[in-house]
Structure 1
Amino acid sequence: MSTPTATFKTLDDLEPDQRVLVRLDLNSPIEDGEPQDNRRFERHAETVRELADAGHRVVLLAHQGRPGRDDFVSLAGHADILASHVGRDVGFVADTYGDDAIDAIEALESGEVLLLENTRMCDDELPEEDPEVKAETEFVQSLAPHFDAYVNDAYSAAHRSHASLVGFPQVLPAYAGRVMQTEYEANTAIANKEFDGQVTMAVGGTKATDVIDVMNNLGDTVDDFLLGGIAGELFLRAAGHPVGFDLDPEQDLYDTQWVQNHELVEEMLAERGDQITLATDLAYEAEGERAEIDVDEIEEKDVSFLDVGTDTAEGYADVVRDSGAVFVKGALGVFEDERFSVGTVTVLEAIAETDCFSVVGGGDTSRAIEMYGMDEADFDHVSIAGGAYIRALTGQPLAGVEALKEQ
C-alpha cells in the first residue's frame, strides 16, 4: 500500500501487467541540437526501471523547450540518454498520438519501454486550461484507450495545467511515480512536518517576489531566513544601505523589482526583522579577483556585488549547524563563477556536515552540489524542480498534483 503520508496513489498501488503511460520531465539544456545529460534522467530512470522490471509495458511522454525557441527539438536523443540510465533499451517513435505512435504502443511486449515524441509538438498540449477541458482534447482521447493506467512522475512540471499532466488523470486510473512521490513529500515537509530544533531557510536567487512569497507563507514556521542574492541586496536597501539598484539601467536586475516590491520588503523587515538575517559583507570583482567590503562601509554602490562576503557565509554556516532543519531556495551568489561561490558552497557544506533535515532546491541551486564535489547523499533531498518547488514553498496548489489527488 501507499505510505501513510501520501495524498495520492503510488506505484505500490499499481496492478500487475499493465500498459502504463508515464509522464516524465526530461527538459534539458540543448547544445548543437543535442540534449545534455542531467540529474533528471537519472532520477526518472528509477521509476522507468521499476515499472519495466515489474513487467509493465511502459510508454513515456515528455517535453523539450517551447515552440519558437532554440531548445524546441525532438526527443530522439533523449531516448538514448535515458536508456543509459535505465539499463535497458528505450525505443523512440517520432509521433505522439497518430498511427505510428499507436502501432508502436500496441506492439510493446512485457518490460519494453517506448518514448513518444515531444508533447509540446501537439497543439492540444500547451494552453493552460482546466483538467476537464484537457481531458476532451484529441491528444488525450486518442491515447488513453490504449492504456490501463497513467503515472505522473513530472513533479518539476506539475505547476502546469497541460494536457499530458492533467488530462489523462481524468480518464485513466492515475498514480504518482517515485520522483513525484519523493519531491512532493520533501518539498511540503516544511509545512507538514514537525522538527526538533530551529528551522532555517537560506533564500537567494534573482526573484524578489519569490522570496517575499516564500517568507510570507512560511513566516510562522521558519525561525531564521538567511538572505543573499539579488533579493538579499534589495532587503539591504530597505534597511537603509546604499545598495540594491542597477549600475547599468539596461540590465534591470534591481530597479524594477524594487519599485514592485519595496513596500512589501520594508513591511516584512518591520514585522519579521528578528527572523531575517542580512549579509554583513559583500563580494565583488576587482582586477579579476574576489574582493570584499563590509556593508556598513559602503558609501555608494559603484560595483556589482556577486556574492555574500566570507564573514556572512561563515555566520550563516554557524546558524545552519545549530538548526534541526534547513531548506535552501536560490543561490546566495553567482556560484557558477568559483570566485563567487563562497556563500552558496559554505552554506551547503555546513548542511552536509550537520545532522539536520535538509532540502535543497530552487532553480539551478542544486547544481552547486555536483559542481563543487559534494555528495548528494549528505542531503535529505535535492530537488530537481524549479517553479514547482517555489509553488510548494509558497503554499500554492500544483495542477498536476491536484489531478492525482482527485483519484
Structure 2
Amino acid sequence: MPIGTIKDLGAEGKTVLLRLDLNSPIDPTSNLILDDKRFREHLPTIRALESSRVVIITHQSRPGKKDFTTLEAHAEKLEQLLGKPVTYVDSIFGRHARETVNAMKIGEVVMLENVRFNAEENLTLKPEEAKKIHLIRKLSSMGDVFVNDAFGTAHRSQPTVVGLPLAMRSAGGLLMEKEVSTLSKVFSGAPRPVCMVLGGTKVDDSIDVARHVLDNGIADQVIVIGVVANVFLIAAGYNIGKPSAQLIAHLKYQPEIEKAKEILSRHRDRVVMPESVAVRQDNRRVEYAVGKIPEDAPVLDLGMDALASMVQDLKKAGTVVFNGPAGVFEDADFATGTFELLRAAAKVEFSVVGGGHTAAVIEKLGIENEFTHISTGGGACIEFLTGKKLPAVDALEQSKKIFG
C-alpha cells in the first residue's frame, strides 16, 4: 500500500509537524555546518507547505557524540537557504515551544530543539508503543497533521518516526516520496540488465543486499568492490594478505565469509570479483593478480585489469545501483577504482547511488547531475534494497489505513 502524499493531506491553513533529517557534519569548535546537502534536499517539501504553519522536528547526531548539539545553527542555515525567517525554539514541547507554535501565522516556519535531547526519542519502539509515550502525546497535541520527509532516519524505529503517524493524519514529504518510488523501481520496472555495485566497509548489509537481489532475480549481476570484495575473495579461496584479513577480523565480519560462500555456491556466474588489486608497497601503488597478493601488503584499490573489465560490465547495464567505494579513495594513489566506476555508472540509463561516502565522492567529481537518483540515506537505502520494510514507511502506510 502506498504512503499518503502532501497532495492528499489537505494541509492548507493547518499546523503541520514536519519531521526532517538535518543531521549534518558540524565543526565542533565553531558549530558551523560543513555540508548543507540534506537541507537543500528538504527545501521542496517546506516550500510545498507554504500555505500552512510549519513546525520542524529534527535531530543532530546522538547522545554521547561530539557533534550532539542544539539546532540554532541549523535554523540559521535553513533560513539562509529558504530565503525566509525560521524561528528557532530551544525547547521541544515545553511552554515556550507551545506558546510559539500557538502564535504562528500561515507561512511561518518554526524549528524545535534537537528532538534527541529528549531521552524517549532515542528508544527503539514499535509504533503502537511509541504512540503512547509522553513525547508523542505532547508533540501530536501541537499540530493538526504530520509529514515525514526524513528518509535518512526511515530505517530507525524511533518515536517521532513511527509514533506520530499513528497519532495523527500523516503523509510522506516530497523527498520521502521520491526516495521510496525511485528505490521501488529497482525491484520492478528498472531497465535490464540490473547491476549492483556493492563496496565500502558495511559488509553485513551488502551481503544481505546481494543475497536478496540474486535469490529473487532482481539483479542480473552483482559487482563486489572494497572490503566487501575482500570477504568474497576469501570465500572463493584466495589469500588476500594479512593486513586485509586482519581488518575483516577487526570489523567482526568473519561470519560474513560463510554467507558469501553460500551466495557463491548458488550464483557464482553472477557475482563479479576483482581479478587484480592495488596494494601499498614501499610507499607506492603496486598491482597484483588476486592469486598473488603479498602477505604483508594491504589491498587498497582495484587493479587496472579488474577496473577495465568492471567498466565494460557497467557499459552493458541498463540499471546500476552503486553503494560504497572500491578502496581508500581519500588517497589519490588509490582513488582510481572508485572514481572510474562512478564515472561509468553515471552513464547508464537508470543509475541510483546509496548515499553516504559515495554521494560525497560524486559531489567531489562534479557528476551529481548525471545520476538518476542519489539517496539521502545510506543506511535506509541499503535496508530498503535488502527487501525489508522500513519502519517509517510502514508507519506511514498504517497511518493511511487509520486516517484515510
TM-score, scaled relative to structure 2: 0.93
Match of 1:58 in 2: 54
Q: Which moved more, 1:386-395 or 1:312-321?
A: 312-321
Q: Work out whether 1:120 is the aligned partner of 2:113.
A: no
Q: Is contact 1:158-1:388 (8 Å) kept?
A: yes
Partners of 1:320 and 1:102 in 2: CA distance? 54
Partners of 2:154 and 2:299 in 1: CA distance? 34
1:244 to 1:367, Cα distance in 2 relative to 1, 3 A:
farther
Partners of 1:245 and 1:87 in 2: CA distance? 54
TM-fit CA distance, 1:86: 1.7
TM-fit CA distance, 1:273: 0.5
- The counterpart of 1:314, out of the listed 287, 290, 308, is 308
Match of 1:387 in 2: 379
Q: Structure 1 runs of 4+ off > 6 angstroms? A: none
Match of 2:224 in 1: 227
Greater fraction of residues in helix: 2
Give the alignment of 1:190-229 within 5 angstroms. Answer: 190-191=186-187, 193-219=188-214, 220-229=217-226
- The counterpart of 1:399, out of the listed 377, 391, 397, is 391
Residue identity matched to 1:141: R
Residue identity matched to 1:372: L
Match of 2:298 in 1: 304
Give the alignment of 1:254-273 within 5 angstroms. Answer: 254=249, 257=252, 259-273=254-268
Q: Which moved more, 1:219-228 or 1:356-365?
A: 356-365
- The counterpart of 1:29, out of the listed 7, 25, 30, is 25
- The counterpart of 2:79, out of the listed 76, 83, 93, is 83
Give the alignment of 1:150-189 within 5 angstroms. Answer: 150-189=146-185
1:141 to 1:255, Cα distance in 2 relative to 1, 3 A:
closer
Q: Is contact 1:247-1:302 (8 Å) kept?
A: no
- The counterpart of 1:367, out of the listed 356, 360, 367, is 360
Match of 2:344 in 1: 350
Partners of 1:173 and 1:244 in 2: CA distance? 56
Residue identity matched to 1:291: V
TM-fit CA distance, 1:362: 4.5
TM-fit CA distance, 1:45: 1.7
- The counterpart of 2:128, out of the listed 129, 132, 135, is 132
TM-fit CA distance, 1:317: 1.4
Partners of 1:338 and 1:109 in 2: CA distance? 52
SS in 1 for 2:121: coil
1:93-130 CA distance string (max 9 Å, x none): 00000001001111111111111000001122111111
Partners of 1:327 and 1:391 in 2: CA distance? 13
Match of 2:5 in 1: 10
TM-fit CA distance, 1:287: 4.3
Partners of 1:56 and 1:280 in 2: CA distance? 57
TM-fit CA distance, 1:262: 2.1
Partners of 2:110 and 2:34 in 1: CA distance? 20
TM-fit CA distance, 1:391: 0.9
1:247 to 1:149, Cα distance in 2 relative to 1, 3 A:
closer
SS in 2 for 1:69: coil
1:161-218 CA distance string (max 9 Å, x none): 1111111111211010011111111222222x22343110111111221121101111
TM-fit CA distance, 1:30: 2.1
1:114-161 CA distance string (max 9 Å, x none): 110000011221111111221112212112122111000001101111
Q: Is contact 1:245-1:254 (8 Å) kept?
A: no
Give the alignment of 1:247-258 within 5 angstroms. Answer: 252-254=247-249, 257=252
Partners of 1:352 and 1:248 in 2: CA distance? 32
Partners of 1:142 and 1:297 in 2: CA distance? 63
Partners of 1:134 and 1:36 in 2: CA distance? 33
Give the alignment of 1:319-334 within 5 angstroms. Answer: 319-334=313-328
Partners of 1:401 and 1:244 in 2: CA distance? 43
Partners of 2:256 and 2:8 in 1: CA distance? 46
SS in 2 for 1:395: coil
Match of 2:237 in 1: 240
Partners of 2:241 and 2:34 in 1: CA distance? 35
Q: Which moved more, 1:10-19 or 1:149-158?
A: 10-19
Q: Is contact 2:198-2:206 (8 Å) kept?
A: yes
SS in 1 for 2:129: helix
Residue identity matched to 2:127: P
- The counterpart of 2:38, out of the listed 40, 54, 73, is 40
Partners of 1:256 and 1:177 in 2: CA distance? 36
Aligned-pair identity in percent equals 35
Partners of 1:122 and 1:256 in 2: CA distance? 31
The size of the alignment, in residue pairs, is 394
